[in-house]
Amino acid sequence: MARVRRRRRPWGRYFVHAVVLLIVAVWTVPTLGIFVSSFRDRDQLAVSGWWTALFTSEQNLIGRADSPANQVQEDGRYVISGNLLDGVGSVTAFGVRIANPTEFEPGILADLPAGAGTLTVSEDGAYRLTSDRPFEGTVGRRLYYTAALPPQFTLENYENVLTSEGIGQSFLNSLTVTVPATVIPILIAAYAAYALAWMRFPTRAIFLSIIVGLLVVPLQMSLIPLLRLYNEVGAFFGVPAKTYLGIWLAHTGFGLPLAVYLLRNYIAGLPLEIIESARIDGATDFEIFVRIVLPLSVPALAAFAIFQFLWVWNDLLVAIVFLGNSEDQLVLTGRLRELLGSRGGDWEILTASAFVSMVLPLIVFFSLQRFFVRGLLAGSVKGG
């Protein structure tokens, strides 16, 4: 009698799926938070988290009463009245001192400091200042209160970013920097990777070791020496210092080690039979590279193109060093930084700026995503 094999429960598969979902959530939730915050009102953004965006929030606010010039007399007393909320939300408490804005409940008659009169604030935001003596001064008195306000969403943050002066030129400047700085290292690295994978020469292992070593060199450490070298060579040939050529060469140099490493491992893993068959048919190395290797290496090329495009598009340090802050060459990241002001006073546009700068990289990523994982994994684990 044949034994009935008991089917194992796929707990391991469920565990893997749970871990993957957790990782996706960890990466997605902050992005969702930035997206929601980009549409929130500045005052609500300052006092509550994005997860409260759909709920009523309480805020300690400071209002100002009407000018004493508009006071009126009622039954021998001087009165200043108005509304703090304009029909939006409700007052939950108020106070006569900034240290305690929740001292009184709505509708309570509170005495002002130094015998300046009385104040009452209703739940709908209507206030009433009264005094036996005329109110003096030209500016209305400050009123401290706590209000429960409904969710408020606005497009003002995006309007401030998209309509700011020079944002269009900065977008074009970033494109001018990013596209060549992505294409040039791919072209150079593809040739170098083929040579290191399939061409035999004595110092091939040494070159490969140097490339792997360059992967760990910090950009910040080599930036200033590279700039000095570029300026000296440029001065010798009469090339201006702050040009796009300089930043193209800089990003090419910083991106080449990873590009050569990924592409070399991928190309070395291509079937040997294809290369040998082409050589038997009389194809040169250049013909093999152009007609066989490049078409088969599209996944690896696309994977590196995504990385390089994202790095260059989001770069600010290299752009400042090699291009400067001139208005006609300022990149998008530099323009968005200037919108915040010298002291970050307009911090509420940070979230909107983040999504404005993310639009093009997201388009590039989703356009090439079908090659991304395949090319990245192949370039990481294959060898030759």
Instruction: Give me the pLDDT at residue 205, please.
Output: 85
pLDDT value at residue 1: 45
Q: Strand 57-64 relative to strand 142-149: parallel, antiparallel, unpaired? A: antiparallel
Domain range list for the chain? 11-52, 57-150, 159-381
Beta-bridge mates of residue 80:
129
What are the DSSP calls for 73-140, one per residue?
EETTEEEEEEESSTTSSEEEEEESSTT-TTSB-TT--EEPGGG--EEEE-TTSEEEEEESS---SSSP
Q: Residue 30: how many CB atoms within 10 A of its CB?
A: 10
Strand 110-111 to 142-149 pairing: unpaired
Give the list of residues 6+ apart from residue 367 with CB closer than 8 angstroms, or none.
Answer: none
- Dihedral (CA of 340, 343, 344, 345) sign: negative
Q: Residue 76: its pLDDT value, please?
A: 85
193: Cβ contacts below 8 Å, ≥ 6 apart: 259, 260, 263, 264, 266, 267
Confirm if 48 and 58 have CB atoms less than 8 A apart: no
Q: What is the pLDDT of residue 116?
A: 83
Q: What residue has token string 């395949």?
A: 374
Please report, as a single letter, which amino acid is at residue 160.
Answer: N
Predicted pLDDT at 204 = 83
Q: What is the pLDDT of residue 344?
A: 60
Walking along the chain (384 residues) 10 residues at a time, the average pLDDT comes out as: 55 84 88 89 82 87 90 90 88 90 91 88 93 88 91 88 86 93 93 88 86 84 84 76 87 91 88 88 88 88 90 91 84 85 69 87 82 57 44
Return d(Cα 193, Cα 263) in angstroms, integer.
6
Q: Give the architecture (CATH level 2) of 159-381.
A: Orthogonal Bundle (1.10)
pLDDT of residue 341: 67
